[in-house]
């Protein structure tokens, strides 16, 4: 179906694509054309997917760029892969391979939560394919004063534990993830819950990637050599905004925009403003732009 309120917008079905890398299916959505390519990588919470995290932004962004919204391996329509060598590096390697398979030389990588850490891993491991970074509520940093694990991180880790997945657990997590409780509708809860239990053990293995040790990306942030936009909500109860301050301090060419009264899911909670900030960043960091 089309995105609500946007007649003629790209649909989930019409934008669906897939390719095979090392025998595993990698699913993604594609819309738009142009010299700029956006590779959007979603978060790693139960029930997450590319369309689920970025589907409402595809219509706006695809008017200005070629947009690829991927499903992490083990999520959405992508097959799980074995996570060797860390939590983020295997995903980064797959997406670098994906760009090559599609004949794309370089892309701006947009990562939400876990997707942000994967984006940073791509910039470190495959700098030749990364043009810019947009890190949204990203994992991979260091909380300067927030408690660890956070409320949201505890909810993610407990989702499959105990009595197992439930709509009540999903509703509780979504209320932690977003600032405005009115956004946590029955429809959204049902959609995320259904996704979290689809695909049996293969899907569950993807959602439980939190059990794999994460690489210490925070030690390498000074090596990221591309322009980086950091977007964060001040009411983020999963990745506190002090993580954003650490990323800003450590990444050489970084800038930060904070959204008041916003939680982790910036692209959903503040869709139009998120898109404006991202597109303005593309404009001012393009090859032909004048220096400020």
- The confidence score (pLDDT) of residue 1 equals 28
Q: What is the CATH number of the domain that holds 101?
A: 3.40.50.1820
* Average confidence (pLDDT) over 242-260: 97
- Let me know if residue 3 belongs to a domain: no
- The confidence score (pLDDT) of residue 210 equals 55
Sole residue written with tokens 């293969």? 202
- Let me know if residue 6 belongs to a domain: no
* Average confidence (pLDDT) over 107-130: 98
Residue 34: which pLDDT band, with cuts at 50, 70 and 90? very high
Rounded to 5 degrees, φ, ψ at 159 are -60, -45
* Average confidence (pLDDT) over 126-136: 99
Peptide bond into 149 cis (omega under 30): yes
- Residue 1 vs residue 83, higher pLDDT: 83
Distance CA 107, CA 282 (A): 11
- The confidence score (pLDDT) of residue 40 equals 99
- Let me know if residue 11 belongs to a domain: no
Distance of CA 232 to the CA centre of its chain: 13
Query: Does residue 108 contact residue 226 with C-beta atoms inside 8 Å?
Result: no
- Let me know if residue 143 belongs to a domain: yes
- Asked whether the predicted pLDDT for residue 211 surpasses 70, the reply is no
| Distances in whole angstroms, Cα of residue 80 to Cα of each of 71, 72, 154, 212, 254 | 10, 8, 23, 14, 32
- The confidence score (pLDDT) of residue 8 equals 67
Q: Using one digit for the tens of pLDDT, what is the confidence trace for 40-62?
A: 999 999 999 999 999 999 999 99
- Asked whether the predicted pLDDT for residue 2 surpasses 90, the reply is no
- Residue 162 vs residue 95, higher pLDDT: 95
Please count the structural domains in the chain.
Answer: 1
Q: Using one digit for the tens of pLDDT, what is the confidence trace for 62-91?
A: 999 999 999 999 999 999 998 888 899 999
- Asked whether the predicted pLDDT for residue 274 surpasses 60, the reply is yes
- Let me know if residue 29 belongs to a domain: yes
pTM of the full predicted structure? Answer: 0.93
Distance CA 281, CA 46 (A): 30
Cβ burial of 149 (10 Å; 0-12, 13-18, 19+) is middle
Cα-trace Rg, the chain: 17
Q: Domain range holding 218?
A: 16-286
- The confidence score (pLDDT) of residue 3 equals 41
- The confidence score (pLDDT) of residue 202 equals 45
DSSP per-residue string spanning 215-273? P-GGGTGGG--S-EEEEEETT-SSS-THHHHHHHHHSTTEEEEEETT--S-HHHHTHHH
* Average confidence (pLDDT) over 210-226: 89
- Let me know if residue 7 belongs to a domain: no
- Asked whether the predicted pLDDT for residue 94 surpasses 90, the reply is yes
By percentage, how much of the chain surpasses pLDDT 90?
83
- Let me know if residue 1 belongs to a domain: no
- Let me know if residue 69 belongs to a domain: yes
Distance CA 242, CA 240 (A): 5
Q: Using one digit for the tens of pLDDT, what is the confidence trace for 177-201?
A: 999 999 999 999 999 999 999 875 5
- Asked whether the predicted pLDDT for residue 133 surpasses 70, the reply is yes
């Amino acid at each position: 179906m089309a995105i609500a309120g946007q007649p003629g917008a790209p649909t989930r079905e019409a934008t669906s694509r897939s390719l095979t890398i090392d025998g595993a299916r990698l699913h993604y959505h594609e819309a738009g054309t142009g010299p700029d390519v956006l590779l959007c990588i979603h978060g790693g919470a139960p029930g997450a997917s590319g369309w689920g995290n970025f589907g409402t932004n595809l219509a706006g962004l695809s008017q200005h760029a070629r947009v690829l919204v991927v499903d992490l391996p083990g999520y959405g329509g992508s097959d799980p892969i074995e996570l060797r060598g860390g939590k983020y590096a295997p995903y980064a390697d797959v997406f670098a391979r994906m760009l090559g398979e599609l004949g794309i030389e370089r892309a701006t990588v947009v990562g939400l939560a876990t997707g942000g850490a994967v984006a940073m891993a791509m910039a470190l491991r495959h700098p030749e394919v990364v043009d810019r970074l947009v890190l949204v509520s990203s994992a991979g940093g260091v909380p300067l004063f927030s408690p660890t694990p956070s409320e949201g991180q505890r909810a993610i880790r407990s989702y499959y534990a105990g009595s197992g997945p439930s709509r009540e657990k999903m509703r509780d997590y979504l209320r932690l993830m977003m600032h405005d409780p009115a956004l946590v509708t029955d429809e959204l809860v049902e959609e995320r819950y259904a996704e979290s239990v689809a695909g049996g053990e293969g899907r569950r293995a993807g959602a439980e990637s939190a059990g794999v040790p994460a690489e210490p990306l925070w030690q390498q942030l000074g090596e990221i050599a591309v322009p980086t936009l950091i977007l964060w909500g001040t009411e983020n109860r999963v990745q506190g905004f002090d993580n954003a301050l650490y990323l800003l301090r450590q990444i050489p060419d970084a800038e930060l925009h904070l959204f008041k009264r916003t939680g982790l899911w910036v692209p959903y909670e503040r869709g139009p403003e998120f898109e404006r900030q991202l597109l303005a960043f593309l404009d001012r960091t393009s090859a032909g732009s004048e220096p400020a």
